[in-house]
């Protein structure tokens, strides 16, 4: 992920490392290593100011680092197995009759900070999206309006993002739809139907306009988000 204000970016590797790069140099400027191998799920993201970055490395813990003092280790960490998360995810999977998608192996696939840096949107390998307090890890909302299809197994990689003003959280679905929720309440408010012939793999919101881009099913679609 690109740093929002500097010529730097983060990468997350299956070798269990989080690396900080300067685009003007081919050498890594910093490396954070996991204390466990192998890893099968790893991701990282900057907040909107580039002051904090979050890291997930397959051990069910999200760690928060001060981008200026990352050498000192994480200043906060919280578990995906927090009671607030399990209390919401387990009943949902049971209701969807998805026994192969046990909450006991819940992993993060992607992290997105809200524009104010106070919330975190987490794509999971169980096809649901967690809306967390970014510094305490408590579940604020579970975004699940898209449901799960009978074919959704393994690690469904679905896109998500926030609107530029942080008022909405946007999530993708396996059947090509895009869903909008109010960030403050978790309320489902709208969906764009079947813009893709496959899963929505990525979502990006224009930082200055009410314009949303979605990618999936071998296509990219631009949506006008006015009136949501």
Residue pLDDT, tens place only, 138-190: 999 999 888 765 555 556 689 999 999 999 999 999 889 999 999 999 999 99
User: pTM for the complete prediction?
Assistant: 0.90
Residue 160 DSSP symbol:
E
Residue pLDDT, tens place only, 44-56: 999 999 999 999 9
Residue pLDDT, tens place only, 22-43: 999 888 888 988 877 788 889 9
Tell me the Cα Rg of the chain. Answer: 17
Q: E strands of 28-116, at which residues?
A: 28-33, 43-46, 52-56, 61-66, 76-79, 108-113
Q: What is the pLDDT of residue 210?
A: 86
Phi, psi of 87, deg, nearest 5: -65, -25
**Domains of the chain, earliest start first:** 8-224 (2.130.10.10)
User: How large is the greatest C-alpha to C-alpha distance in the chain, in angstroms?
Assistant: 50
């Amino acid at each position: 992920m690109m740093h929002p204000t500097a010529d730097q970016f983060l990468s997350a590797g299956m070798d269990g490392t989080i690396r900080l790069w300067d685009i003007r140099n081919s050498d890594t400027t910093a490396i954070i290593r996991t204390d466990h191998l192998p890893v099968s799920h790893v991701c990282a993201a900057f907040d909107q100011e580039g002051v904090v970055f979050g890291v997930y490395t397959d051990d069910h813990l999200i760690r928060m680092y001060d981008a200026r003092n990352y050498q000192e280790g994480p200043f906060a960490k919280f578990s995906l197995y927090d009671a607030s998360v399990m209390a919401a995810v387990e009943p949902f999977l049971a209701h969807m009759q998805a026994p192969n998608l046990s909450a006991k192996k819940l992993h993060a696939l992607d992290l997105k900070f809200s524009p104010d840096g106070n919330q975190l949107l987490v794509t999971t390998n169980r096809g649901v999206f967690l809306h967390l307090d970014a510094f305490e890890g408590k579940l604020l909302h579970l975004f699940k309006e898209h449901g799960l299809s009978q074919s959704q197994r393994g690690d469904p990689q679905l896109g998500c993002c926030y609107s530029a003003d942080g008022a909405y959280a946007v999530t993708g679905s396996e059947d090509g739809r895009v869903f909008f929720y109010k960030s403050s309440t978790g309320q489902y408010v709208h969906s764009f139907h079947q813009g893709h012939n496959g899963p929505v793999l990525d979502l990006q919101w224009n930082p200055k306009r009410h314009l949303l881009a979605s990618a999936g099913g071998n296509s990219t679609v631009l949506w006008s988000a006015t009136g949501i």
